[in-house]
Amino acid sequence: MNQAKDKKQIILDIATRLFSRYGYNKTSLDEVAAEAQIAKGTVYYYFSSKEELFMNVVEVQVKEFVDTIRRKVREVEGFENKLRTLVQEPIRHVCETMPVWMEGLKSIPFSGQDRFLDFRKENREATLTLMAEIMEVGKKEGVIDPNLHTEDTVRVISDWILMGNTNVVITDFESLLAQVERDHEAIMHVVLYGVFKRG
């Protein structure tokens, strides 16, 4: 690792620790610089503001989160074990190793909200992709109905069961009705027949 990347990584590591311990509002760039034993100007050289530093920390954590969940799902064998891992691991991982993410949900300044929503969308897309892979494993094992449309089903499970659609708020009735219209057939299939192959 070259010296510039090394310094940037040191700043990110220390900021992660301080944001996790004290939260966004109670952590200053002065503290980050002091802990890193560098000038405050060096912090500003890599990050234009405390918010920018915080968002970089969150971005690193989101990437690690997606990589970790993907790895854990792929490490286990069989449809049921993969599905259990996908349901259990994300919440466990966020609670145990991503306090900065939790802090950000509570206190990120308004100007950072759009970027935070982008992180959530990125995470949702990765989850949908993994869920689709798991459904295909179930079809190959013969336990999932082969007629089930994978993409529609994973979207229904995410949006309606796991409440994973961050784009629709309950007061946005037009979007909600459009989503119901789009998903009603998949919802009915899951409600009436489930996802398991019958017979």
For residue 106, give the 3-state DSSP assignment: helix
Give me the numbers of helices (H) and strands (E) for the chain, helices first please.
9, 0
Which H/E stretch holds residue 30?
helix 29-36
Whether the model clears a pTM of 0.75, i.e. scores above it, the answer is no
Tokens of 69: 């969940």
For residue 99, give the 3-state DSSP assignment: helix
Residue 199 to residue 197: CA distance in whole angstroms = 7
For residues 121 and 162, which has the higher predicted lDDT (pLDDT)?
121
Which residues on neighbouring strands pair with residue 160, listed in sequence order?
Answer: none
Go through the domains of the chain in sequence order and give each one's CATH number.
Answer: 3-144 (1.10.357.10), 145-199 (no CATH)
pLDDT at 168: 45
Residue 136 to residue 109: CA distance in whole angstroms = 41
**pLDDT value at 193 more than 70:** no
For residues 74 and 195, which has the higher predicted lDDT (pLDDT)?
74
Q: Rounded to the nearest 5°, which phi and psi values hold at 168?
A: -110, 125
Q: Rounded to the nearest 5°, which phi and psi values hold at 16?
A: -60, -45
Tokens of 84: 């259990």
Question: What are the tens digits of pLDDT across the range 8-62?
Answer: 999 999 999 998 888 888 899 999 999 999 999 999 999 999 989 998 998 888 8
Nearest Cα neighbor of 139 from 151, 121, 127, 126 is 151
Nearest Cα neighbor of 73 from 65, 64, 62, 84 is 84
**pLDDT value at 187 more than 50:** yes
pLDDT at 93: 76
Question: What are the tens digits of pLDDT across the range 67-94?
Answer: 999 999 999 999 989 988 887 787 777 7
